[in-house]
Structure 1
């Protein structure tokens, strides 16, 4: 009997077949989209296509091809049913009902991430004399040129605003596209109500089963003074990350009937009123002077005051672009990165009950939908499950703890290598995001396998196995057995690059790599997940497109290679400060989102006590381990390719690899084929995630002096930076 998936596939094939010639004319496609208030970017995201492709379909330059054609035809048919053309026959298909979203009350942001909004393009500001229907007090005071794009009419002023006040006390909201709105509010409650009724701020959902993003108001120091908030938090308030309930503004909020989440009024605060039907009424405050936007992630490490002194219009442009290309900021870049996963893979959807005809909540099979039991070897030391299992300061061994971490490896140079003048450091673009691409991860809880189970690379999870027999002196590189100098190579199985000494816990990608190198493996036991998916694929694609588009704005495009790419990367550092900040924030989002999958307590509660992050469906240390495993073995795979060509690394730090070289450029060191092309499977210069750029160059003499000062060889991979800001957030 056919399975349900096979039946669905057969039905989809029929739909695709009948949809081949069932598309409206290009002009009608555009009309339907605009009538629904959808952007080209939203449709592109839903169809897993590029925004430019949707634009071409609407102008008739190109036509969609299977399988996207069938899905696009289905979308247009549904829109045509809802938005018929006057004086024209239209399909009578019944549109899919819109199900009200139930909001059950305040939920801590750390425990229940909201699914935010998709890319809303920055648009031209309206004329200064225009007034907005329903927002008569919000008058545009300033215009500026901006990139034209499609705008959801519900959120025509953009996803967020920077709220500032002048010397006369006039409050202004700086929005994307150069638009500035007069804000009549004199208190925080009035500001929230103005945003909900007249501000027209927010962003449409990234996924049809997700939620629209709440508007974000970024408060400057002048705005804090105007609304009676302190310019800085006291030491006690910083520890609590909130103002006390006795503060007058907190009391104002309570008297006005506004509610707050358990996080209270802190650097990031969520204020809301009860929903109206299915419509949420929630506003997020981002208090800039209280370090809501950590300069290490959102700014520059060498300029801590940059964001505080940035012009409100420039700050709105920066954060508005981030919201358009990634999502509306939700806190740290790590928090935003994690919530982006949820926004793109919502855990629930509305499903019609055939018996009652009413819609109920159903779980999506490709998402993280529940909090499952954890495995001892996968959790950090302070986890409650370890209480009573180990002494307080016991260092767990590899046979007791899954130690999938990035590389921190170094070795001394050989005499021949010391003859080179330079040490060249290359850096992998967005290495953690690239490692997530195409990676199969577990979605359900663990299943324990005992009795020496056979290794199955299709089962994500953790395996207890002895890999000490893998000898790098002779391994398969590609499909050929190759002899290498193992003394100049790190082990792929440990972060420090040491050869394993016995059984240890490894994630599936690490064990699969041992098999790839040509060696048999014999697991002792395992904890695997039987339900799996490429959960992080849309997350990776969203961040990849955001990064590539931002680098293109800086002049570094995907068609550049070799010396031209290196020249443009050097020039881009001084091209556009806002775009440079945006690139750093996107990289931090990718790295931080993966780290957040195994968020640690960090002193929130005593050791072995439950802390809030553990209640999230997205607290999944096994998924983090799989990504880090894939990142590390991915580096090692390319290291072997270059080693086979005669080039060995000296240091590896996370995603930076250092090679001794006769010249100062990566072109002087990275091996090429006789035709002058990069060695297949090796490191390749370019801007896309997974490709490499030049991090910096130092001399061998510089390194030797440093080693002498510190009494021995240590990892200098992340000390070799031509630009002080290079590699931030990676």
Structure 2
């Protein structure tokens, strides 16, 4: 049993700890009782009005030296303005004290999270700032002008990880306010990049849990506004520093030297719009922080429309929703799309060594592994080392870019008043569903028997297949009939069989180990896409008429959510594109390896499988539409198709049954991947005029009068 002396020593140690503040509501009461405004208090404490607001609503807590000064002020006010029912120097519980005002109520202590194996264990961390309770529905604004609907049921979001109480990221402003998810604002005292990294890892409580049990937790992301960049010693704009592949600070820049002097490292891409500052992992603990500089165009306007010009809190909301539904951004949306594949299919898992009994990293079945894999020569880019000297042709699985020959237009079609464009929602994502791809290296075969269940590349002659000239050929991106043997992905050859034609491959590169590698990637992005659309009022229970009406203005409902929606779509296309990333830089020479080839996810064969399936899916719908309605497309561009129409709405030509239900097999309206939405409507004469000039109406149908002197 502890002695009295030991107990008193423990109590004295508690008394010597830092000052404790009263609850937020009491802080606000005392200030208002003193007749002091938040702005005046902020001026006295050399802070900002927003920071004082955060202290008084529990979003953040002050740090030394402001903490001691604020405590002294509150103690003084507490003596002058005691709570109701106290008198003179009586404390809050009515006990008399002869040593001045009674101590103020203590803020409940924040429990310390237990570190995961891949997170930094900080030495004696300061308690993280208090988290404001999450609003009931911060991401689902009401839809003006439409009838109220019960929101679609969705899986409950996982409980916040106690190791990361403040979410995955913050947006840092020039005054040291760090805006996080759900309205949280933290005080960041850092004035240099090394201090910012230390604060992030030790005090901020930022990060995100792994998406797969065999994966790694997401590193915290700090997004810097222009003012924050300047405060940290960075240039406001990154101009005139072009080196190697992209814009980045030169190695002799003072900030880069600061980082190096503090024994932190930068990745090979250096300090650019997206930078990773890290130390090599020790005993399995990661020490890494991601930085994104807004004024250096870290958020591409095409993928994040309008986000760069938003207020920091709104930027944090956009990126926070994306991080929660997709992944903490790690670069461009293309980079994030590729990283998401690895996060959901980690290359390794813990396995027990039979001899030593120790747990060691081992291959995770269904993943792409840890080592890069060269493609077969016809699957590679022409610059690739394995393609040097190869004369057997290359796989050309790309999306449609086709326009019907004008002489094939009928008088009846030309007399129709409108050209209506339909766009398939995330067509590549729909194609990734239940897609079997190769996981092992390719093996070469001569005169193999075609098997539609084996992913790979087949050299086969499909030029004898004759189809309706009013439809594009499904075997080429241009829609033109093949002229001889060529390389095709499995789905393209299987579709030739589906159309009733015999196929006799001359050779093939096939993979023995296969799997649905992209399934979890598809599932997560599909959920993110559908949920974000639902938050914008576009739900699956809408009728087709209601769907078209809501889609006209859904982006105006909430610009932040609209930006998330665009980013999700860009993640799909960019992630697929990254599977075949090419060399960059004017000094590259054919035959040299480039950095992307060192990734296990450099897999042009998987990209070809996605695009082949998407193109086949599109063609199948075109054939079914012609069979059910007698209508033929004017043009196709990737996932957009233009039809002549008697009315200015898809409802005038889409096939419906007598009961009013959409006919299966054709284009159907709706919010899900693979379903269609209205892309645009123009006069039929406008479309014919573009076709006669050699332009693709599907490219311009959304924008109306397009600039036509730039070519296609």
**Offset at residue 425 of structure 1 (A):** 0.3
**Offset at residue 143 of structure 1 (A):** 8.1
Q: Choose which of 540, 557, 570 in structure 2 pairs with 1:575.
A: 557
Q: 2: CA distance between counterparts of 1:661 and 1:621?
A: 38
**Offset at residue 141 of structure 1 (A):** 10
Q: Deviations over 1:47-67 (max 9, x none)?
A: xxxxxxxxxxxxxxxxxxxxx
Normalized against structure 2, the TM-score is what? 0.77
Q: Choose which of 668, 685, 702 in structure 2 pairs with 1:701.
A: 685
Q: Choose which of 259, 265, 268 in structure 1 pairs with 2:265.
A: 259
Residue 400 of structure 1 is matched in structure 2 by: 393
Give 3-state SS (helix, strand or coil) of 2:632's partner.
coil
| Native 8 Å contact 1:138 1:183 kept in 2 | no
> Are residues 1:458 and 2:453 paired?
yes
Q: 1: CA distance between counterparts of 2:657 and 2:499?
A: 23
Change (3 A) 1:593 1:524: same
Residue 49 of structure 2 is matched in structure 1 by: none
Structure (1 or 2) with the larger CA radius of gyration: 2
Unaligned 5+ segments in structure 1 are 1-124, 300-305, 391-398, 473-485, 726-730
**Offset at residue 724 of structure 1 (A):** 11
Q: 2: CA distance between counterparts of 1:602 and 1:694?
A: 36
Q: 2: CA distance between counterparts of 1:702 and 1:266?
A: 45
| Native 8 Å contact 1:146 1:178 kept in 2 | no
**Offset at residue 243 of structure 1 (A):** 0.8
| Native 8 Å contact 1:140 1:181 kept in 2 | no
**Offset at residue 722 of structure 1 (A):** 6.1
> Are residues 1:379 and 2:372 paired?
no
**Offset at residue 548 of structure 1 (A):** 0.3
**Offset at residue 286 of structure 1 (A):** 0.7
**Offset at residue 318 of structure 1 (A):** 0.4
Moved runs in structure 1, 4+ residues, more than 4 A?
125-144, 146-149, 722-725
> Are residues 1:310 and 2:314 paired?
no
Residue 175 of structure 1 is matched in structure 2 by: 180
Residue 685 of structure 1 is matched in structure 2 by: 669
> Are residues 1:284 and 2:284 paired?
no
Give 3-state SS (helix, strand or coil) of 1:295's partner.
coil
**Offset at residue 135 of structure 1 (A):** 5.6
Residue 248 of structure 1 is matched in structure 2 by: 254
| Native 8 Å contact 1:459 1:508 kept in 2 | yes
Q: 1: CA distance between counterparts of 2:429 and 2:607?
A: 11
Q: Deviations over 1:621-659 (max 9, x none)?
A: 111011100000000011111010112111000000100
Q: Choose which of 624, 633, 640 in structure 2 pairs with 1:656.
A: 640
Q: 1: CA distance between counterparts of 2:512 and 2:395?
A: 19
User: In the TM superposition, what are the counterparts of 1:173-572 in structure 2 within 5 Å?
Assistant: 173-237=178-242, 240-299=246-305, 306-369=306-369, 370-389=371-390, 400-411=393-404, 412=406, 413-450=409-446, 452-472=447-467, 486-572=468-554
Residue 160 of structure 1 is matched in structure 2 by: 169
**Offset at residue 706 of structure 1 (A):** 3.6
Give 3-state SS (helix, strand or coil) of 1:154's partner.
coil
Change (3 A) 1:655 1:706: same
Q: Choose which of 598, 602, 605 in structure 2 pairs with 1:622.
A: 605
Change (3 A) 1:619 1:556: same
Normalized against structure 1, the TM-score is what? 0.75
User: In the TM superposition, what are the counterparts of 1:86-101 in structure 2 within 5 Å?
Assistant: none
**Offset at residue 703 of structure 1 (A):** 2.2
| Native 8 Å contact 2:60 2:187 kept in 1 | no
**Offset at residue 702 of structure 1 (A):** 1.8
Q: 1: CA distance between counterparts of 2:545 and 2:637?
A: 25
Q: Would you say how many aligned residue pairs link Structure 1 and Structure 2?
A: 566
CA RMSD of aligned residues (A): 2.1
Q: 2: CA distance between counterparts of 1:350 and 1:684?
A: 45
Change (3 A) 1:718 1:238: farther
Residue 303 of structure 1 is matched in structure 2 by: none
Give 3-state SS (helix, strand or coil) of 1:564's partner.
helix
Give 3-state SS (helix, strand or coil) of 2:402's partner.
strand
Q: Choose which of 573, 578, 596 in structure 2 pairs with 1:591.
A: 573
| Native 8 Å contact 2:378 2:395 kept in 1 | yes
Unaligned 5+ segments in structure 2 are 1-56, 62-106, 113-123, 139-156, 707-712
Change (3 A) 1:126 1:549: farther
| Native 8 Å contact 2:403 2:691 kept in 1 | no
